């Protein structure tokens, strides 16, 4: 099963957390697609086509689940787009929000994002959910 890992990549801490999620998924035997690792980071406007094709056209091939890191004041624009794309294509998603409770984040996440997926509050809870998926 192949998992798409979505989240902001503006800081080293954000990238490190995505890579930690990637490592967790792989430790359970899942294949992963991690956009900044597998396609790279946009360097300028001339890179947009390459990034879009790599992240979305190629990246979503054979994806069965999206894991989206939702930490921070706002969800990244790319992450929100990827979640919408997954939802429209009937690909389930799990959100990971470790920095505050979901009720406290309602204003920032929106009812739309919260209503569209299961959200867990820790890497341990994510691991539990992935184990359930693996068993089915």
Whether the per-residue pLDDT at 74 is higher than 90: the answer is no
Whole-number pLDDT of residue 69: 98
State the DSSP code for 11: S
Instruction: Spell out the domains of the chain, with CATH numbers in brackets.
Output: 2-135 (3.40.50.450)
Q: How large is the average pLDDT for residues 51-75? A: 95
Cβ atoms of residues 123 and 97 within 8 Å: no
Per residue in 32-41, pLDDT (tens digit) is: 999 999 999 9
pTM for the whole thing?
0.95
Q: Are strands 63-69 and 31-33 parallel, antiparallel or unpaired?
A: unpaired
What would the pLDDT profile of 92-124 be if each residue is shown by its tens digit?
999 999 998 888 888 878 889 999 999 999 999
- Output the CA torsion 21→23→28→32 (10° steps): 80
Band the pLDDT of 91: cuts 50, 70, 90: very high
């Amino acid at each position: 099963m192949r998992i798409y890992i979505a989240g902001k990549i503006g800081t080293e801490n954000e990238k490190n957390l995505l890579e930690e999620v990637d490592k967790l998924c792989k430790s359970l035997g899942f294949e992963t697609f991690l956009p900044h690792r597998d396609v790279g980071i946009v360097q300028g406007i001339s890179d947009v086509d390459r990034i879009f094709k790599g992240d979305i056209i190629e990246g979503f091939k054979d994806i069965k689940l999206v894991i989206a890191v939702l930490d921070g004041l706002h969800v990244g624009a790319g992450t929100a787009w990827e979640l919408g794309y997954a939802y429209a294509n009937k690909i389930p998603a799990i959100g990971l929000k470790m920095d505050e409770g979901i009720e406290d984040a309602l204003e920032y996440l929106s009812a739309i994002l919260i209503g569209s997926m299961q959200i867990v509050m820790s890497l341990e809870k994510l691991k539990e959910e992935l184990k359930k998926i693996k068993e089915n």
